[in-house]
Structure 1
Amino acid sequence: MTSPWMLVATREIVVRALNKGFLIGLAITMAMIGGLIGFTAYMDSRTDSFDVAVVATDDAALTAVESAREEAATSDQQIELGVVRVDDAAAAEAALEDEAADAWLSSDDGSGWSLSGWREPDGGLATLLGDTVRDQVMADRATGAGTTMDALTAGSEIETQRLDGNPVDPQVVFLAGFVLAFLFFTGAVGSGAMIAGSVIEEKQSRLVEIIATAVPLRQLLAGKIIGSSVIALAQNLLLAGVGLIGLSFTDLSAVLPAMTATMVWFVVFFTVGFVAVAALYAVAGSLASRTEDLQYTTTPLMMLLMGVYLVTFSADGVLERVLSYIPPASIVSMPVRVLNGDALWWEPVVSLLVLVVTTLGAVLLSERAYRGALMQTGGRVTWKSALAADRGTTLGA
């Protein structure tokens, strides 16, 4: 025989999965993620083309542009250079004004170099030409001094290394924190609101009084929590899968193993933590007597989740370490620390245990408040009244 909580959970899953608003919102979110990743991949693969004007008699500038073009081609800088030969300085300025050229390189008769543009020259172009000109000038001076460039620059190279052994760039960590915080917020708020709405709908229509004769309130709450948790988890798995697959087509594919491990931890933490969120949202629904009351009963939860969203993705240093042990912020902060490489192997385990204990406490407290408030009508119910009502019912029994 099927357990009552399983019937309730199945109903919650089916109703949510067939809800057009939910499906449309999920499709829009997936499209946004895919579009963002596609735009990032396009920007990473895009090659910038520049036409550089050079006065025909300026051999040094012509040599520099040709050398820069070869350097860009061999070093995969995604910059293409074209040469626009002009007769004199006036013709170079006219080419810039007419947009026939993007920049004008001049050696100024050996007294110095200048890169001009009708507007500010592109930073990447300026860096490429600047490095090329510097190398060219140093090579000429080395030849004049009877030595070579290799001899002059020997031992001057700086090799960078990261001592923590984590190859993930800080900007990638920040972006991952933002994404995880977003997934947590949308999953918790969206699915939580559905639970609260389902509870108040049954309460306002008095349907819950009929259900309560066949299903114990404890199992009714368990079914709603489990059903909503399954939907929230499936939603995040789907969005995370789309993100990881899209990531493999970008320059960030090298950090895909680290990102995958982080997403696994996030899914585990979210699965546990959302149970507490779902239970609290169910209580918020039971505290209301009308749909209009949900704005008041769910506001504290919304403020909490919004605070977690805003704080976790921007946290760093000591604050991030502290948050990684405090539920529900640990749902986001600990996986981010795993990605950043500053969490020891045992820290996620300890943080998860803290989250499990907190979730159990939240569920037990919510179950009492839910049973005490669900049958009360006539106005909004406070947590104190709900807990007192359940205690009185238990003692009376």
Structure 2
Amino acid sequence: MRSTVWVTVARREIVTKLTDRTFLLSTFGLIGLLAVVLGVQAFMANRTETYTVVTSSAPAAQMAAQVELVAEATDDKVSVTVTRAADDAAATRALRADEASVWLHEGGDGWLLTGKADVPDGVETFAATAIREVTLGANAAAAGTSVEELVRGSALSTAVLEGDAEKAGVAQALGFALALLFYLASFTFGYALANSVVEEKASRIVEIIATKITTRELLAGKVLGNLVLAFGQMAIFVAVGLVGLTFTEYDRFIPAISGAVGWFTVFFVVGFGLLACLWAVAGALASRTEDVQSTSTPLTFLTTGVFFGALLATGTAKTVLSFVPPFSAVIMPVRVLEGSAPWWQALVALVILVVAAALVVQVAARLYQRSLLQTQGRLSLRQAWSTPD
């Protein structure tokens, strides 16, 4: 029976939260919001852009046909349709009536692309490419040479010394998402845990509970229950995000992302457990619900610091913080995703985090045990530590 007491406490914490309408509405609301955001992104990424180019002369029609060919060869999600107007006035009327996206016609020493209110960037890019290729070919023929000869040696390629720029962008976005998940889970469930402790303390229910189980078992059950809830919520968010990512152009990064998410899961469990113990102590130090805001202020700053540290730290500072608990709970998985941290560094950071969590649990258990039954007022850490068992 003694070995399952803390499980009973954890089950009570879970059931209480799962029957809380506010918790359920906020969770499903965030899931819905995430699904909508990913759905819109997937729709935009897979949507075919259609442009209609109107011309009013034979040379312009020929050039527009080249624009259509360039667009089809460059982007399979872009469709260009060419129409012919009887004259310039008819082309202008088609443009004003939104029957065409742009009007391609001769203008000065070259070509002119006219839009109603603006010229879409996509069609402008394709038109510029087509006109340059056609004009370059004509000029080369007039000069008695070839396009290949004219452009020889002008090719420009790009390269980076470290990493992949697009992958780095995905890593940055995912890093923000993981940091936000850890912050929301730590703050939301931590604050709820602290309030739960102080409510039981203020109502004297904890005195009845303490006659049946030890305060350490009560602490273990509360931390475990909230850890299960936080992990479950986080897992749902991550699963929705990964599924949504498969419908976007970034789906090729999912294998690399999955590895980083695996590391984040392990770090999340240990890091959240560390902070949850401290949140429980914040609740035990208070005697009224109003006191929790004061006793939890250091934790609020710490949790916020982890969030902004993960977002703002760079270079050496980021490397160092990736080994410092609890910052490592977020920063190290992000470094793994970026490719700047090998697996052994992640393992070392995890061992350090586990050791730190074990020490925090010991300290938190003592503070929790010695302050939980003290109802004479808000306690300081020194008072709680020196209070006899």
Q: 1:276: which partner in 2?
A: 274
Structure 1 residue 164: deviation in Å? 4.3
Shift of 1:74: 3.1
1:286 aligned partner, one-letter code? A
What is residue 376 of structure 2 aligned with on the other side? Answer: 378
Deviations 1:352-388 (CA, angstroms, capped at 9, x unpaired): 1221122122222211221222111132222121112
Match of 2:217 in 1: 219
Find the aligned partners of 1:340 and 1:362 in 2 and give their Cα distance. 30
1:83 aligns with 2:63: no
State the TM-score, normalized to the length of structure 1: 0.91
Which residue identity is paired with 2:8? L
SS at match of 2:212: coil
- Aligned equivalents of 1:170, 1:130: Cα separation in 2: 30
Gaps of 5+ in 1: none
- Structure 2 counterpart of 1:356, from 339, 354, 357: 354
In the alignment, structure 1 residue 333 sits paired with structure 2 residue 331: yes
Q: Identify the residue that residue 65 of structure 1 maps to in structure 2.
A: 64
Kindly report which structure 2 residues correspond to 1:10-25, keeping only aligned pairs within 5 A, or say none.
10-25=11-26
Q: Secondary structure at the match of 1:82?
A: strand
Superposition RMSD in Å:
2.1
Please say if residues 191 and 232 of structure 1, whose CA atoms lie closer than 8 Å, have aligned partners that are also in contact: yes
Structure 2's unaligned 5+ residue stretches are none
Which is further off, 128-137 or 98-107? Answer: 98-107
Cα distance in 2 for residues equivalent to 1:67 and 1:278: 64
Q: CA deviation at 1:333?
A: 1.2
Taking the aligned partners of 1:94 and 1:317, their CA distance within structure 2 comes to 58
Distance 1:166 1:338, change over 3 A: farther
Code of the residue aligned with 1:75 in structure 2: it is T
Q: After superposition, where does 1:161-180 map in structure 2 within 5 Å? A: 161-164=159-162, 169-180=167-178
1:9 correspondence with 2:10: yes
Partner of 2:261: 263
Report how far residue 283 of structure 1 moved: 0.8
Give secondary structure in 2 for the equivalent of 1:215.
coil
The alpha carbon displacement at 1:159 in A equals 4.2
Task: Compute the displacement of 1:162 (Å).
Answer: 4.8
Residue 344 of structure 1 deviates from its aligned partner by 2.3
How many pairs are equivalent?
388
User: How big is the shift at 1:183?
Assistant: 1.0
Match of residue 147 from structure 1: 145
Provide the residue aligned with 2:103 in structure 1. Answer: 104
Instruction: Please give the alpha-carbon distance, in whole angstroms, between the structure 1 residues aligned to 2:2 and 2:146.
Output: 85
Task: For residue 343 of structure 2, give the secondary structure of its aligned residue in structure 1.
Answer: coil
**CA gap 1:124/1:276 in 2 versus in 1, 3 angstroms:** same
Describe the SS at the equivalent of 1:83.
strand
TM-score relative to the length of structure 2 = 0.93
- How far apart in 1 are the matches of 2:347 and 2:49? 47
Contact 2:68/2:82, CA 8 A, preserved across alignment:
no
The superposition leaves residues 97-129 of structure 1 with CA deviations (integer Å, 9 ceiling, x where unpaired) of: 3333222222326x2222222323111221111
